[in-house]
Amino acid sequence: MAALISVAGLGGWDRAWASEGPAAAAEADDPFLVIVTARARQLYRANETTSGKLATAPLDSSLNIQVLNAELIRDQGARDAQDLYRNIAGVSLFSYAGVTARGFRQEEIFFDGLRGDPYVAFSVPQLFNVERLEFLKGPAGMLYGPGAPGGLFNYITKTPKEAFSARATAVVGTEARHGGSVEVEGFLPGDKAPATRVGVFYEDRNTPRRNSGSEVLILDGGIRTDLGPAALTLQASRYEQNTQGNRLRGVPTDNLGHFLADRRWNHNEKSDFLDLTADVLQARVEWPVSESLTLDAGLRYSESLERQQYHEPRGLTDSNGDGVLDLSRREFRDQERDLDQLSFGANAVWSRDFGMVRNRVLVGVDAYRSELINNNRPSLLGGFTAVASLPAPLSLTNPVYGLTDPKAYNLKARVRTSAIQERSGAYVLEEATVGPFIATAGVRFDLYEDESSASAFEDEKATWRAGLVWRARPDVSVYGQWAQSYEPQSVSSQDPLAGGPFAPTEGEILEGGVKTELLGGRLQSTMAVYRIVRSNMLQSDPRGDVDGDGVDDLVAFGEVTSKGAEIDLAADLTNNWVLTGSYAYNDTRITKTNSATVITNSVGDRFANAPKHKAGFWTRYQFSKLGLALALGGDYVDVRTSISGQKVRPYTVFDASVIYKIGPWSTLLRVDNLLDETYAASGFIDRTGHFPGEPRSVFLEISREW
């Protein structure tokens, strides 16, 4: 009802705003007329999304997909995924590349619609070769198979172009930041030459925590050529991330969320590191067979090696008896993760009208295989007093590094374990349009198999979705969707002696909302309310070893319910002034439990790092005659709770950019954390502390385009 009231009330607002400027008379005659405008207008606008696997205009889709495009990424000087989370309603940082999405921890990442994250476990996706990020909110099991119910990230990579263009950048900044990049497209001569792209990115800097630094190299290239009626795109990327002292945990806090050490405190020695090398190969074929039938297929292979040596915080003590925890014992860890992934997907879209019914049918298949080899040494635990050949403790208030040398540790031989995942699925989705109504319904059938060094398990699962859109006006739509998701239980939990095998965790959403493109496209917004139920969550059986077989039992009993409301908007306030904004309310609670054992990441009946309120904005004003633009952004995250039940205090931070362009030259002056706010970006456990947000930083980027 509220959605219908808001739709009915939009007409007067639309006409009032349309009276501004020289286009007022034309808009009065035709309130839905699209006006062609300068670059400032529709700057951050999404005209089409692809994560629904049917290329669809936002107003025609019953999915809720938020798009962060190349212009927004560039204006914000974003380097990795963590720089973008603040732009997405309902998404906040959990740890590393993981987020809290609509109340649930989410780590699912796709590239160009294919499963497979080359950044392994603790490295964060880089953005140099990313064209845009699409976040599909809510369960997506019918489209993408297993995954968390909060949503999934789909990174759309930059592709080869036929027309020549080039861009070179150089950057300098605080924390000894320096680097540069070069991108060249369409560089082969001839009218019929294949489309091409090559790119190189390098950046080196200290990071805010003591002893830490980050060096990143990205090599990226691609070529697209015609194969008669079809087009073949080949892409190759290499990622090298060398991060000194950067396998980071947090900074310890008291129970009220106040840091017990300086925010730059680091539990790692200068010799510690987290290094990643990854090679990615991708091929894609697109074939418009006819006006009514299109085919596409993609194949993606990645090979990643992540190596890390670091000192893990393992407990705190009050060393001088003043009632304040001030000393951390540490544990040395030496770990290697070797991950190979192969992903395939193919889709066919058939379109045909039947009388007054416009019809599209999507049929697709996908498959994924990963093999993870862990080659880790047993960890080595030190105490609260220094002992030769063991990790020395570290003071929170006066840390002294270099008193412990990993080369002197008596480390045991590496232990090799492996894990294999195999996923395959087939799906069909029907979309029918009758007048102002667009209905979708689809089903997917999956087979999945997990194998570890100790056990193996396989099963199957069907997931469904349905959606309905009402185009109430050409610039307003009302939508609703029901969808399912699932996540296989870990293979280690499927032991028959523990009561297994267990059916997967399931998710289900009911969502409804309103989407707009008012004022000739000058105001694009999505308002949504939703309810997600996640069920069949494993807990320890409070009865212990029920069958007397020597293994404590598990029980699939837990249920969690997430309720929320969100609004996202992008508006052209004037011809030179653009605003994006978002707000999210979420209440995630345990609604069914055995009352004797906890559900992972729960604190009481709530969940860690799940804020009730989150809001953000980004606004840009350009002085077109001067070639100058000023931009300001803000991010508010409400109070949260860490996994250990400690308070994670609310915060508000501001960022700013100054953009200047003259001819082919442009500069970006970027300031992050403008007011140098001290805050925790997320919480973890008490012995490792909260993840501190970065202090104020500044960089200058100079670019030349051809």
CA distance 578 to 40: 7
HSE-up (13 A, CA, CB side) for residue 81: 27
Q: Is residue 683 part of a domain?
A: no
CA distance 519 to 503: 49
Higher-confidence position of 31 and 284: 284
DSSP bridge pairs for 288 = 294
Residues 10, 83: one domain? Answer: no
Residues 92, 237: one domain? Answer: yes
Quote the tokens at residue 285.
Answer: 């074929």
**In the sheet where 65-68 sits, what is the strand order?**
65-68, 130-137, 151-157, 109-111, 114-115
Residues 6, 135: one domain? Answer: no
Q: Containing domain of residue 429, as a range?
A: 43-629+639-645
Q: Is residue 340 part of a domain?
A: yes
Q: Is residue 625 part of a domain?
A: yes
Q: Is residue 336 part of a domain?
A: yes
**CATH number of the structural domain spanning residue 601:** 2.40.170.20
Quote the tokens at residue 510.
Answer: 């009911």
Using CB atoms within 10 A of its CB, is residue 467 exposed (0-12), middle (13-18) or buried (19+)?
buried
DSSP bridge pairs for 299 = 283, 344
**In the sheet where 98-101 sits, what is the strand order?**
91-95, 98-101, 104-106
DSSP bridge pairs for 661 = 666
Residues 16, 61: one domain? Answer: no
Q: Is 361 in contact with 293 (CB distance < 8 Å)?
A: no
Q: Is residue 537 part of a domain?
A: yes
Residues 27, 67: one domain? Answer: no
Quote the tokens at residue 143.
Answer: 């489209």
Residues 29, 53: one domain? Answer: no
What pLDDT is stored for residue 105 in this prediction?
A: 86
Parallel, antiparallel or unpaired: strands 151-157 and 109-111: parallel
What pLDDT is stored for residue 228 in this prediction?
A: 87
Out of 592, 613, 645, pick the residue that ends a domain: 645
Residues 219, 321: one domain? Answer: yes
Parallel, antiparallel or unpaired: strands 691-692 and 680-682: antiparallel
Which H or E run includes 567?
A: strand 554-574
Q: Is residue 149 part of a domain?
A: yes
Q: Averaged over 236-244, what is the pLDDT? A: 96
The letter for the amino acid at 33 is: L
Residues 77, 1: one domain? Answer: no
What pLDDT is stored for residue 18 in this prediction?
A: 39
Q: Is residue 679 part of a domain?
A: no
Q: Is 246 in contact with 215 (CB distance < 8 Å)?
A: no
Quote the tokens at residue 545.
Answer: 């070893």
HSE-up (13 A, CA, CB side) for residue 459: 17
CA distance 540 to 9: 52
Minimum mean pLDDT range among 49-53, 370-374, 376-380, 428-432: 49-53
Q: Is residue 659 part of a domain?
A: no
Minimum mean pLDDT range among 210-219, 363-372, 596-605: 596-605
Mean pLDDT of the chain: 88
Closest-CA residue to 88 (of 55, 48, 132)? 132
**DSSP secondary structure letters along 634-693:** EEEE--EE-TTS-EE--EEEEEEEEEEEETTEEEEEEEESTT----EEE---TTT-BEEP
Parallel, antiparallel or unpaired: strands 394-395 and 415-434: unpaired
208 — phi, psi (to 5°)? Answer: -60, -30
For the chain, the domain total comes to 2
Residues 1, 140: one domain? Answer: no
Length of the chain: 706
Residues 14, 52: one domain? Answer: no
CA distance 183 to 180: 10
The pLDDT tens digits of the residues spanning 323-357 come to 999 999 999 999 999 999 999 999 999 999 999 99
Q: Is 104 in contact with 148 (CB distance < 8 Å)?
A: yes
Residues 158, 24: one domain? Answer: no
The pLDDT tens digits of the residues spanning 37-76 come to 333 446 777 777 788 898 888 899 999 999 898 888 989 8
What pLDDT is stored for residue 28 in this prediction?
A: 37
Residues 465, 605: one domain? Answer: yes
